[in-house]
Structure 1
Amino acid sequence: MSQVLILGAGFVSGPLVSYLSRKNYSLTVASHLIHEAEAVADKYTDVTPILLDVADRDALMAQVKRHDLVVSFVPFAYHEYVAEACLEAAKHLVTASYETEQMRTFHDEALAKNICIVNEIGLDPGIDHLSAMQVFDDIIEAGSELDSFVSWCGGIPAPSANNNPLGYKFSWSPKSVLLALLNDAKYINNGKSQVIPEEQLLLNTEQVQFSDSLTLEGYPNRDST
């Protein structure tokens, strides 16, 4: 049975644990707050909660070596430490965060050790990339040409749960949601690269009408080029 180490026990970890537990994997959920790991693991018989500080190099290495795959849901600043441990132990790594310049420097070593380090496997980035490529492939297979493409991504709470001033439910770190607003946005419009400075992001919102009864507010996000 494959051994999977999930680092982090926040909002995103629960659905992954639920899915993998049905696929006959042996799972370990690690958190620096043991009660959070226990809350995720207690629903299952094949999930083990442990206390782990990923900044503790020796403790992290010990756990990485025991598993076949590491899924990192810790804050993005720690992914590089996790990647270094996975490289040393020759273990695969998946994260849901944007790929950084430092993570790119691990590429050649990962190839040499025949391991995968895969980033941006979440909703945004992740599912949005995959769904976009599916649209592109369908257009090409139909013999058509793509003139333009705009992708909007976000989470919509059920009306019964839409009970706060933001009209938003956090399915991941609230802090990270807000920190995402501290990045410039880049995209291509009519063949030209456009850059929106971070301080102007919320001044460049757009009303996006999805149906007669659903209109949402969108803003440019990160590097879409």
Structure 2
Amino acid sequence: MTIHWCGTGLSSAPGLRRLAESGADLVVWNRTVEKARAVVGDLCSDIRAFDADALRDALRPGDVVVSMLPGDWHIPLAETAIDKGTHFVSSSYVSPEMAALDGAAKTAGVALVNEVGLDPGLDHVMAHWLMADYRASDAFDPASEHRFLSYCGGVPAQPNDFRYKFSWSPLGVLKALRSPSRSIRGGAVTDVARPWDALSSYAAPLPSPESFEVYPNRDSLPFLAEYGFGDDWNMQEFVRGTLRLNGWSDAWADVFAEIETLHGPEGDARLQEMSDGFWAAHAYDAGEPDRVVLCVDLMVGPKDAPVYHKTFVLDATGDARGSAMARLVSVPVSLAVEGAAAGQIAPGVSTAPRDAEAVAKWLDVTREQAQHVAVVDHL
């Protein structure tokens, strides 16, 4: 069984290192072989120029293909995996096109595993842990008020005036700022056109309490079922969102204002130009530590007298092992690769694990990758 890891961007090395140290048979595919050698040459001797046809020819039944490539490659590689009888792993969200491959993957007996990075990924695992803990408690009652929050963000460990730094191309961040969100607030579905229209403050229960600016992103509602909240549950709040340093909205006010004016091909061109400028001005310097903060919170009962309230918190900074973002994206990917290779993940399209044994393993490994991981009981 061979693991075919495609893409060696900034978030690949720690996961690759973990697989290499376990003795896995690795082939690394990258558009530029020289760049891949510079990043992972000490981990893998078999580095090849990425080519879809060459990859297809190299795949054998039972292999695993990992896509750390741009999102438009996920579907073609997943389709190739189905045709060749190999498993597929990606850290990205399940797209409608990926979901549509579920039946074919089941027929082929292969696992198409997605949402196994940081966010989405570890946030799912923490949510599954909290839900299992709550269901096993005396407080469990679907009729009670339920409030669920999940906020994650990569922020500079050494705050700057821009209140942010980029781990990879800023284009994705800028595009996300143009996207609407859907969540539950005050017991009602809430649609927001732009993130800055829904900014609020969140007090993270870290060892030294710290507040952040937060906002909902994407459509949170499909994750109600993903996490096990029933249609008949009393949901007062359900938000999956992004976390930023205090002062971020002020520092980015001009960015927000310009994004509002961008439309059509000319707007896309300007967005790319902005991305290039931000990458030049606000990328991490070599060796500069980044920081990742993730908080997943479940409160049950009235706000002033909850019967259950716990928060899973993670705080990590870059160190000699690599950036915090790289560790917390690619190490979970490596766990999914191991699970798929061992036949522990059912055929079809799936996301981060929810069974107790796998959740426990993922959280144990996560504790090794972050400086602080804890469950805070507020009662």
TM-score strictly above 0.5: yes
TM-score normalised by L of structure 2 = 0.53
Question: Greater relative contact order: 1 or 2 (C-alpha under 8 angstroms, separation 6 or more)?
Answer: 2
CA distance in 2, matches of 1:5, 1:67: 11
> Cα offset for 1:165?
2.1
Partner of 2:12: 13
Residues 163 and 179 (structure 1), Cα distance of their counterparts in 2 relative to 1, 3 Å cut: same
- Is structure 2 residue 188 aligned with structure 1 residue 192? yes
Asked whether the 8 Å contact 1:87–1:113 carries over to 2, the reply is yes
Partner of 2:195: 201
Partner of 2:56: 61
3-state DSSP class of the match of 1:176?
helix
Q: 1:217 aligns with which of 183, 189, 213?
A: 213
> Cα offset for 1:91?
0.4
Bigger Rg, structure 1 or 2 = 2
How many residues are paired up? 215
Residues 175 and 64 (structure 1), Cα distance of their counterparts in 2 relative to 1, 3 Å cut: farther
Partner of 2:36: 37
Partner of 1:51: 49
Aligned residue identity for 1:20: L
Task: Provide the aligned C-alpha RMSD in A.
Answer: 2.1
3-state DSSP class of the match of 1:143?
coil
> Cα offset for 1:185?
1.1
CA distance in 1, matches of 2:196, 2:58: 42
TM-score normalised by L of structure 1 = 0.86
Is there any run of 5+ residues in structure 1 with no aligned partner, and where? none
3-state DSSP class of the match of 2:120?
coil
Is there any run of 5+ residues in structure 2 with no aligned partner, and where? 222-379
CA distance in 1, matches of 2:198, 2:100: 34
Counting only pairs closer than 5 Å after superposition, residues 52-201 of structure 1 correspond to structure 2 as 52-53=50-51, 57-65=52-60, 68-145=63-140, 147-159=146-158, 162-163=159-160, 165-170=162-167, 172-197=168-193, 200-201=194-195
Asked whether the 8 Å contact 2:184–2:190 carries over to 1, the reply is yes
CA distance in 2, matches of 1:99, 1:113: 19
With 81-90 and 60-69 compared, the bigger mean Cα shift is at 60-69
Superposed CA offset, 1:81-101 (max 9, x none):
111111110100011111111
> Cα offset for 1:181?
2.5
Give aligned-pair identity as a percent. 30
CA distance in 2, matches of 1:19, 1:192: 44
CA distance in 2, matches of 1:118, 1:173: 24
| Structure whose residues are more often strand by fraction | 2
3-state DSSP class of the match of 2:212?
strand
CA distance in 1, matches of 2:35, 2:174: 22
Partner of 1:28: 27
